[in-house]
Amino acid sequence: MSRRYENNTITEDGQLLLKKAERDQIETVWDRYKAQLPQCGYCEMGLSCRICIMGPCRIDPFGQGPQSGVCGADADIVVARNLCRMIAAGAASHSDHGRDLVEVLANVAEGNAPGYEIKDKEKLKRVAAEYGVETDGKEYLQIAGELADAMQEDFGTRKKEITFAARAPQKRRDLWKKLGITPRGIDRETSEMMHRTHMGVDNGWQSLLLHGMRNALSDGWGGSMIASEVSDILFGTPSPKTTAANAGVLKSDQVNIIVHGHNPVVSEMILLACQSPEMIKLAQEKGAKGINLAGVCCTGNELLMRHGVAMAGNHLSTELIISTGAVDMMIVDYQCIMPSLGTVAACYHTKMISTSDKARFPGMEHREFHPDNAEKSAIELVKAAVENFTRRGEVYIPVEPVNAVGGFSVETIVAALGGTPKPLIDAIVSGKIRGAVGVVGCNNPKIKQDYGHVTLTKRLIENDILVVDTGCAAVANAKAGFKTAESIRFAGPGLKEICGSLGIPPVLCMGSCVDNVRILVLASALANTLNVDISDLPLAAAAPEWYSEKAAAIGVYAVASGVYTVLGPMPPIMGSMNVVKLLTEGLNDIVGATFAVEPDPEKAAVLIRRHIEGKREKLGLSFVKI
Ligand code: BF8
């Protein structure tokens, strides 16, 4: 295989499909990245400002040119403002996704959402109780309606504290209160961030970053947590499912439909339509053996977690999947969908469909999904995909799929442990498991696809550190073969023993990016059982290939919740050593956790192991000097 392809991705399907894409003269994300080089140094360092039109401004990092923008903002203020706007955009994206789910819940309650139902009634009652909704003697639909109303309140401005903040350990909540960063309302914190970063408002780089943490917490313990919990209520709480991953999940003899995006509101309906006997019969009439639904990115993770739907790839695979020529339809909702996809699809027979009123793309047909028409629209789309099967040209599916197990919700993990997190704690105390790490986040063409995730995960599990993963990291680790019962061969002796006895892989898929909140809930359960704060536990997080504003919000809420977090790509903060020092050192004294930046996953693994052993030593557990 040419180095050209190997430098872009470690995956065999990716390398082979890159070769095919080149032959088909398809421009990919790697071509466009290369065309952008060298990227703007001011922007890379966070030193350019486009917030107002006295600018655009830039600050000279070498001290020769301007040291402030036209308004007078110095490097610290400019860098902090830029980073804070990233956090706000990320928090808004997750939280708006959460709001869409709450609206579906409200429509289900009112009988306006045919095809949707309450799948996990027990969870509905449990979450309703957390929101103070009386459940005794009430019908489920009434509870759903009242819960949806109560959740809407969390988005507004009238509360002192969002409801799910109560799930955090008391010590953490006390700390947030002391720092004045308890999230009050989901939209409120984002809106306040946009206000603070307007010219002439908050020009304290420290106070801006403090509000950045509050804003991110409103996502982690608010918008994302609502998204995850309401998805469970509507579509079922995940439990372990066998599945498969990589481009080999496409089937040459079946109609292939790919769902891409994030919100299960669309993909769940498409799945139901694909299972309809009428549609399967139609597919057979058209010469196909059946209908094969697969996912990419996080809406794929949502279906994988609940139904074992196969995963064709992660973020950087999306163009390549189309270049197989085997995709009869790709249906997208929102987030992480490259605007280039319609152009790629135009070279093949693939029909591209956008479904969200807030997300349009060039080269896609727009078929808007709403709770009242989703069931009907899904059938229409699947029918159109089946009809498109007959238009297929040459098909190239280069590899066999890799098996995987997914679907590890907190409920499932605790049930596997016998109903309490105690056995996991015992394994950590005994040292058989040294600690646990969330490996999360995206692909980014600045890092060889999947290299960061897979290398880091491998090093952690072979050193007896349990890995939980989400998002595109979870897809990378599934493609790498870390998620079958046999995958314990990659684990160190202690982790191998524990996972072997529980019959679980050493890398547990916890879902999509909003599902990172499942990790927060698990960490809180561990902290509460030990009566310590999250920051006392031998835990860490890593985003080895992150690219998105959502990932920035996730990283900040992880750190503000007490979890040491190692980033692969450098965020745009190098223009301010004050900001860098605060994020990588100073935050330890404030929230008990910091960021580190280390693009080399081998070195990142060492940083994380040192951190975990340091926490073990502080807890009086056995530790190893690294
Ligand atoms: O929310 S991991 S590239 S798909 S942002 Fe996007 Fe990143 Fe993938 Fe999911 Ni998350």
Per-residue model confidence as pLDDT tens digits over 408-457: 999 999 998 888 999 999 999 999 999 999 999 999 999 999 999 999 99
Per-residue pLDDT tens over the stretch 3-48: 789 999 999 999 999 999 999 999 999 999 999 999 999 999 999 9
For ligand 1, whether the C-beta of 123 sits within 6 Å is: no
Summary mean pLDDT of the chain: 97
CATH value of 409-618 in 3.40.50.2030, 1.20.1250.20, 3.10.129.10, 3.40.50.970: 3.40.50.2030
Span from the CA of 262 to the centroid of ligand 1 (angstroms): 8
Answer for the pair 550, 90: CB distance below 8 angstroms, yes or no: yes
For ligand 1, whether the C-beta of 94 sits within 6 Å is: no
Span from the CA of 40 to the centroid of ligand 1 (angstroms): 24
pLDDT at 329 over 90: yes
Number of H helices, E strands in the chain: 27, 16
Determine the Cα–Cα distance for residues 499 and 427; give it in Å rounded to an integer: 11
Answer for the pair 465, 606: CB distance below 8 angstroms, yes or no: no
CA 448, chain centre distance (Å): 19
Span from the CA of 367 to the centroid of ligand 1 (angstroms): 23
Q: Which residues contact 257 (CB under 8 A, 6 or more apart)?
A: 270, 274, 291, 292, 293, 294, 327, 328, 329, 330, 331, 382, 385
- Report the nearest-CA residue for atom 7 of ligand 1: 442
Determine the Cα–Cα distance for residues 136 and 374; give it in Å rounded to an integer: 32
For ligand 1, whether the C-beta of 476 sits within 6 Å is: no
Among the listed residues 612, 379, 590, the one whose alpha carbon sits nearest the alpha carbon of residue 492: 612
Q: Could you tell me the two tokens for 605?
A: 């693994």
Answer for the pair 377, 389: CB distance below 8 angstroms, yes or no: no
Mean pLDDT of the region 317-336: 98
Determine the Cα–Cα distance for residues 490 and 460; give it in Å rounded to an integer: 10
pLDDT value, residue 296:
98
Span from the CA of 391 to the centroid of ligand 1 (angstroms): 31
- Report the nearest-CA residue for atom 3 of ligand 1: 442
Determine the Cα–Cα distance for residues 527 and 533; give it in Å rounded to an integer: 6
Determine the Cα–Cα distance for residues 376 and 378; give it in Å rounded to an integer: 5
- Ligand 1 atom at shortest distance from the alpha carbon of 473: 2
Determine the Cα–Cα distance for residues 228 and 230; give it in Å rounded to an integer: 6
Q: How far apart are the first and last CA of the chain?
A: 37
For ligand 1, whether the C-beta of 336 sits within 6 Å is: yes
Determine the Cα–Cα distance for residues 361 and 345; give it in Å rounded to an integer: 12
- Ligand 1 atom at shortest distance from the alpha carbon of 554: 10
Q: Could you tell me the two tokens for 592?
A: 């008990």
Q: Could you tell me the two tokens for 465?
A: 């550190």
CA torsion sign for 153, 157, 159, 161 is positive
What are residue 313's DSSP bridge partners? Answer: 296
Determine the Cα–Cα distance for residues 591 and 606; give it in Å rounded to an integer: 23
Share of the chain residues as helix, strand and coil, in percent rounded to the nearest 5: 50, 10, 35
Span from the CA of 162 to the centroid of ligand 1 (angstroms): 25
Mean pLDDT of the region 84-88: 98
For ligand 1, whether the C-beta of 548 sits within 6 Å is: yes
Determine the Cα–Cα distance for residues 250 and 256; give it in Å rounded to an integer: 6
Mean pLDDT of the region 330-354: 98
Determine the Cα–Cα distance for residues 292 and 284; give it in Å rounded to an integer: 12
Span from the CA of 406 to the centroid of ligand 1 (angstroms): 17
Cis before residue 38, ω within 30 degrees of 0?
yes
Among the listed residues 311, 280, 284, the one whose alpha carbon sits nearest the alpha carbon of residue 297: 311
CB atoms within 10 A of CB 141: 15
Under DSSP, is residue 159 helix (H, G, I), strand (E, B) or coil? Answer: coil
Under DSSP, is residue 84 helix (H, G, I), strand (E, B) or coil? Answer: helix
Strands (E), 264-420: 291-296, 310-313, 329-332, 351-354, 365-366, 402-406
pLDDT at 184 over 70: yes
Orientation angle between helical segments 451-462 and 471-479, nearest 10 degrees: 70
Mean pLDDT of the region 260-265: 97
Model confidence at 567, in pLDDT bands (50, 70, 90)?
A: very high
Q: Where are the domains of the chain?
A: 3-58, 75-235, 247-391, 409-618
| Strand pairing category for 48-49 and 255-260 | unpaired
CB atoms within 10 A of CB 150: 17
Answer for the pair 481, 450: CB distance below 8 angstroms, yes or no: no
What CATH architecture applies to the domain 247-391?
3-Layer(aba) Sandwich (3.40)
Mean pLDDT of the region 578-605: 98
Per-residue pLDDT tens over the stretch 98-143: 999 999 999 999 999 999 999 999 999 999 999 999 999 999 999 9
Per-residue pLDDT tens over the stretch 457-478: 999 999 999 999 999 999 999 9
Among the listed residues 196, 73, 188, 181, the one whose alpha carbon sits nearest the alpha carbon of residue 587: 181
Span from the CA of 221 to the centroid of ligand 1 (angstroms): 19
For ligand 1, whether the C-beta of 440 sits within 6 Å is: no
Largest CA distance in the chain: 73
Span from the CA of 547 to the centroid of ligand 1 (angstroms): 8
Determine the Cα–Cα distance for residues 626 and 538; give it in Å rounded to an integer: 15
Answer for the pair 284, 290: CB distance below 8 angstroms, yes or no: yes
CATH value of 75-235 in 3.30.465.10, 1.10.150.20, 1.20.1270.30, 1.10.1740.10: 1.20.1270.30
Per-residue pLDDT tens over the stretch 147-162: 999 999 999 988 899 9
Determine the Cα–Cα distance for residues 126 and 234; give it in Å rounded to an integer: 14
For ligand 1, whether the C-beta of 514 sits within 6 Å is: no
- Ligand 1 atom at shortest distance from the alpha carbon of 440: 2
| Strand pairing category for 48-49 and 57-58 | antiparallel
Do the domains spanning 247-391 and 409-618 agree at the CATH topology level?
A: yes
Measure Cα distances from 600 to 37, 442, 456, 606 in Å: 21, 16, 9, 10
Mean pLDDT of the region 523-540: 96
pLDDT at 317 over 90: yes
Amino acid in the structure at residue 586: G
For ligand 1, whether the C-beta of 472 sits within 6 Å is: yes
Burial of 101 (0-12, 13-18, 19+ CB in 10 A): buried
pLDDT at 321 over 90: yes
Span from the CA of 1 to the centroid of ligand 1 (angstroms): 28
pLDDT value, residue 1:
58
User: H-helix or E-strand containing 232?
Assistant: helix 224-235
- Ligand 1 atom at shortest distance from the alpha carbon of 546: 7
pLDDT value, residue 2:
65
Q: Could you tell me the two tokens for 303?
A: 């279906």
Model confidence at 485, in pLDDT bands (50, 70, 90)?
A: confident
Amino acid in the structure at residue 578: N
